[in-house]
């Protein structure tokens, strides 16, 4: 395993990490969840990602139960949670049960600690920006949770560069602890935020990134090119909103081109796609998702594939993708 600093912080996070969205507390059984955690940990993964919103809190409960059973030393791994959506989701949560206001962030933190059966969260994210809460309130709340020892580092997910910068300005003005990391989507098909929008923040505030959906929910495995396979994520009834975004003919076209490049290098497509995210030095960690141990074992070999992604291969990939974000002219 390779370990990278989480942005400008001193925290060393494994380049590949593991997340529980859709799978834990939902798609998979306890035995599989345990085997996935053990497989990841034994491969050197030290960051396990979670959220209040995953399976209405059941994902945190399942992970918490497993961490208790496995009894790994608490100082050997990094655990996260995120708040904003509320346990029941934005639509069904009460007004006091969602958002980045002091009440919800504080109560969601306490609830996550109980579900995960831990004394503190290493990373705590505002899962989305909140247009209804002043940024000062959010920054003060996160700072206070850190002061209380309930959280070690805080960050954002799917915030704009401007929102992240505003949080830093407030933190600087009041001598508070600002956000360390952002959790954006990043993969061969969705590149804008990581490669373009955030480009100044890596240097100005030392932004770290814990990127999600490296396989675009499975599209970058090639398994959707011949239709939706049975039991695959984008066939699930509750995932049809995402299927609409991700099952696109122009994506399938690119996947066909990428498959050829992967075949020529003796790589599987998911492994090449995950390794490609790690070639970006601004990625602190790529969060893997898997519904089976076989998938996870395959995906964990991405680090070994890095030497095969030489300049010529990266150029060939770029030609097929033809979607490199263009920064504004200076
Ligand atoms: P991916 O894009 O890698 O999708 C993972 C899914 O793809 C698996 O659950 C599996 O689904 C399928 N898959 C994975 N590997 C293979 C393989 N080798 N062969 C075939 N199919 C495969 O990542 P996720 O979307 O799961 O995101 C990873 C993590 O990022 C999440 O668990 C979560 O922690 C975080 N995240 C954060 C978000 C945020 O807003 N902050 C949003 C989304 C994710 P199946 O078998 O069911 O088809």
pLDDT for res 26: 92
CA dihedral 297, 25, 247, 243 (to 10 degrees): 180
Rounded to an integer, the average pLDDT of 167-189 is 98
How far apart, in Å, are the Cα atoms of 291 and each of 32, 60, 217? 8, 16, 11
Answer yes or no: is 76 within a domain: yes
pLDDT of res. 329? 77
Tell me, yes or no, whether 300 lies in a domain. yes
Residue 236: pLDDT over 70: yes
For the question of residue 77 being annotated catalytic, the response is no
Q: Tens of pLDDT along 159-177?
A: 999 999 999 999 999 999 9
Q: Does residue 111 form part of some domain?
A: yes
CA distance 320 to 162: 31
Residue with tokens 């969060």, as numbered in its chain: 287
| CA 112 to mean position of chain CA atoms | 17
Share of the chain above pLDDT 70, in %: 100
Please give the residue range of the domain that contains residue 18.
3-219+271-306
| Residue 213 CB–ligand 1 contact under 6 Å | yes
C-alpha 65 – ligand 1 centre gap (Å): 22
Say if ligand 1 is within 6 A of residue 25 CB: no
Tell me the CATH number at 49.
Answer: 3.20.20.100
DSSP for 1-59, written as a single string: --EEE-TTSS-EEESEEEE-TTIIIIIS-HHHHHHHHHHHHHTT--EEE--TTGGGGHH
- 143 in a domain, yes or no? yes
Average pLDDT of the residues in 289-317:
98
Say yes or no to pLDDT of 327 above 90: no
Q: What is the pLDDT of residues 247-300, one digit of tens each?
A: 999 999 999 999 999 999 999 999 999 999 999 999 999 999 999 999 999 999
Question: Is 249 part of a structural domain of the chain?
Answer: no
Task: Determine the distance separating the centroid of ligand 1 and the alpha carbon of 291, expressed in angstroms.
Answer: 8
Structure tokens at 256: 């066909």
113 part of a folded domain: yes
Q: What is the pTM of this model?
A: 0.98
Query: How many domains, the chain?
Result: 1
Give, for 311, the enclosing helix (H) or strand (E): helix 311-321
Structure tokens, 125: 């994210």
Is 233 among the domain residues?
Answer: no
Please check whether residue 246 lies inside any domain of the structure. no
Over 70: is that where the pLDDT of 44 sits? yes
Specify whether the CB–CB gap between 6 and 14 falls below 8 A.
no
């Amino acid at each position: 395993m390779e370990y990278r600093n989480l942005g400008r912080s001193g925290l060393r996070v494994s380049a590949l990490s593991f997340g529980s969205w859709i799978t834990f507390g939902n798609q998979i059984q306890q035995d599989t969840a345990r085997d996935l955690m053990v497989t990841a940990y034994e491969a050197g993964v030290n960051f396990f990602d979670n959220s209040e919103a995953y399976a209405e809190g059941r994902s945190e409960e399942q992970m918490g139960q497993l961490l208790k059973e496995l009894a790994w030393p608490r100082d050997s791994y990094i655990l996260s949670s995120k708040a904003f959506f509320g346990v029941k989701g934005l639509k069904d949560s009460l007004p006091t049960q969602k958002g980045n206001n002091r009440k919800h962030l504080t109560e969601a933190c306490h609830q996550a600690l109980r579900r995960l059966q831990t004394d503190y969260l290493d990373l705590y994210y505002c899962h989305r920006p909140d247009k209804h809460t002043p940024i000062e309130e959010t920054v003060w709340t996160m700072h206070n949770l850190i002061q209380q020892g309930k959280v070690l580092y805080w960050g954002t997910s799917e915030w704009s560069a401007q929102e992240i910068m505003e949080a830093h300005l407030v933190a600087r003005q009041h001598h508070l602890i600002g956000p360390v990391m952002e959790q954006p989507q990043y993969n061969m098909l969705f590149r804008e935020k990581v490669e373009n929008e955030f480009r100044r923040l890596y240097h100005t505030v030392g932004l770290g990134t814990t990127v999600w959906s490296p396989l675009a929910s499975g599209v970058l495995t090639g398994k959707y090119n011949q239709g939706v396979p049975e039991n695959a994520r984008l066939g699930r009834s509750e995932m049809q909103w995402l299927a609409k975004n991700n099952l696109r003919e122009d994506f399938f076209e690119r996947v066909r081109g990428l498959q050829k490049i992967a075949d020529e290098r003796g790589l599987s497509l998911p492994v090449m796609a995950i390794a490609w995210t790690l070639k970006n030095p601004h990625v602190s960690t790529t969060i893997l998702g898997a519904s089976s141990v076989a998938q996870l074992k395959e995906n964990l070999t991405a680090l070994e594939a890095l030497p095969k992604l030489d300049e010529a291969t990266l150029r060939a990939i770029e030609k097929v993708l033809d979607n490199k974000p263009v920064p504004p002219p200076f």
